[in-house]
Amino acid sequence: MNVEISDVTRRFGRTQAVAGVTLQTGPGVFGLLGPNGAGKTTLLRMMATVIPPTSGRLRLLGRDPGGYGPRREIRRRLGYLPQNLGYYPGFTVTEFVEYFALLKDMPPGQVPRAVAAAVEQVGLGDRARAKLRTLSGGMLRRAGIAQAIVNDPELLLLDEPTAGLDPEQRVAFRGLLRDVGQRATVVVSTHLVEDVGAACTEVALMEQGKIVFHGTPAELTGRGEGTGAAGDAPLERGRDIALSPLPVAVLDPGGHLIALKRLDLSGILRGEIAVAKAWGMLGMRLPARGVITRAQHAPQFFAALSELSGGRMIPAPGGVPFTHDGPVLGPAGISAVTSDND
């Protein structure tokens, strides 16, 4: 494995940006997906040896980056595009990429050809002599990608690489990722689901510094099939479901709330909905789907029950009974992205 991460955490003062992450990946394109602030950039910076982990174990290209010697060797063999890459405005594209090639200790005799190839790969061959200050945001991003691939890295780390690229450039870039992934490990941090679906062979979802899903794009797509609004892509729905906070309410046989677990990002009404689903199951002595059937076939009867319950019964999936040798010990209700997913 080119990347081995075991129970890694990273703190900045009292803030825990990465919380006990464990990952392994080898050759291919690995997508690191999640909302802004999820911890993706911090995890990528640790992989790039920019910052050390607060705790846990990290091995890159078979080496421990804790020591100066191994860390220097790792840096020669990796490429890194940070989210915000600094540059000298007076450099030309060629000079910019050449500068990074020399920082990576590439043999001087190999640098001109490698620089020309990298610049051509990102579609800037006709702007090789242009000053960086004259380039658009998308062109600057492509120059940044060129410096990351100039040394033909064994480990390529890219933080939001398609930011500023137009649709045609993004399609070309995904082809570049797939090509590099044939011979190296590519880790792409992004919040764009379509980039993951088009280029990645493996994906992990991060939320609040933790990995909440790790699998293939097809497996993530499978979570979203048959759910969500019409027009939403299954992969996007799968992401939303995997990232969804899931409140759980547990009642006793008398309908009294004995436990409610609501994750930090769940909506303030999600807990109330979970309680109502559990209450409906208890009142009807049916799982929530059975309550739906009754409501559909006997709407007046259900309306009367709803009035008697003070509106506490919700005819939607998500209420289930806990039983032991027959008797119902109590119900539980959950409320996530969609009732069908519940």
Distance from C-alpha of 17 to C-alpha of 248, rounded to nearest angstrom: 26
Domain that holds residue 104: 3-243
Q: Is 170 helix (H, G, I), strand (E, B) or coil?
A: helix
Q: List the pLDDT tens digit at each of the 342 positions of the chain.
A: 899 999 999 999 999 999 999 999 999 999 999 888 899 999 999 999 999 999 999 999 999 999 999 999 999 999 999 999 899 999 999 999 999 999 999 999 999 999 999 999 999 999 999 999 999 999 999 999 999 999 999 999 999 998 888 888 888 888 999 999 999 999 999 888 888 888 899 999 998 899 988 999 888 888 777 655 444 677 777 777 666 656 777 877 777 777 777 555 455 566 667 777 776 666 666 665 666 666 677 677 666 666 666 666 666 666 777 766 666 666 776 766 555 555
**Number of domains within the chain:** 2
pLDDT at position 340, please? Answer: 53
Q: Based on the domain organization, do 189 and 77 belong to the same domain?
A: yes
Q: Are 61 and 114 in contact (CB under 8 A)?
A: no
Q: Based on the domain organization, do 229 and 294 belong to the same domain?
A: no
Q: Based on the domain organization, do 96 and 201 belong to the same domain?
A: yes
Q: Based on the domain organization, do 197 and 59 belong to the same domain?
A: yes
Q: What are phi and psi of 320, to 5 degrees?
A: -135, 150
pLDDT at position 127, please? Answer: 96
- Output the CA–CA distances (angstroms, integers) from residue 318 to 22, 56, 75, in the order listed: 31, 38, 50
Q: Based on the domain organization, do 318 and 181 belong to the same domain?
A: no
Q: Based on the domain organization, do 92 and 20 belong to the same domain?
A: yes
Q: Based on the domain organization, do 81 and 226 belong to the same domain?
A: yes
Distance from C-alpha of 197 to C-alpha of 266, rounded to nearest angstrom: 26
Task: Answer yes or no: is 95 within a domain.
Answer: yes
Q: How many CA atoms lie within 13 A of 315 on its CB side?
A: 15
Q: Of how many residues is the chain composed?
A: 342
Q: Based on the domain organization, do 74 and 194 belong to the same domain?
A: yes
pLDDT at position 284, please? Answer: 65
Task: Answer yes or no: is 339 within a domain.
Answer: no
Among candidate residues 214, 243, 272, the one where a domain is terminated: 243
Distance from C-alpha of 18 to C-alpha of 32, rounded to nearest angstrom: 13
pLDDT at position 167, please? Answer: 87
Among candidate residues 243, 260, 278, the one where a domain is terminated: 243
Through-space distance between the first and last CA atoms of the chain, rounded to whole angstroms: 36
pLDDT at position 78, please? Answer: 95
pLDDT at position 276, please? Answer: 72
Distance from C-alpha of 47 to C-alpha of 68, rounded to nearest angstrom: 15
Task: Answer yes or no: is 311 within a domain.
Answer: yes
Q: Based on the domain organization, do 144 and 206 belong to the same domain?
A: yes
Q: Based on the domain organization, do 252 and 315 belong to the same domain?
A: yes
Strand partners, 250: 259, 332
pLDDT at position 325, please? Answer: 67
The CATH number given to whatever domain includes residue 297 is 3.30.450.150
Among candidate residues 243, 278, 312, the one where a domain is terminated: 243
Q: Based on the domain organization, do 323 and 192 belong to the same domain?
A: no
Q: Based on the domain organization, do 94 and 222 belong to the same domain?
A: yes
Task: Answer yes or no: is 239 within a domain.
Answer: yes
Using alpha carbons, select from 207, 211, 180, 219 the residue that is nearest to residue 81: 180
The CATH number given to whatever domain includes residue 51 is 3.40.50.300
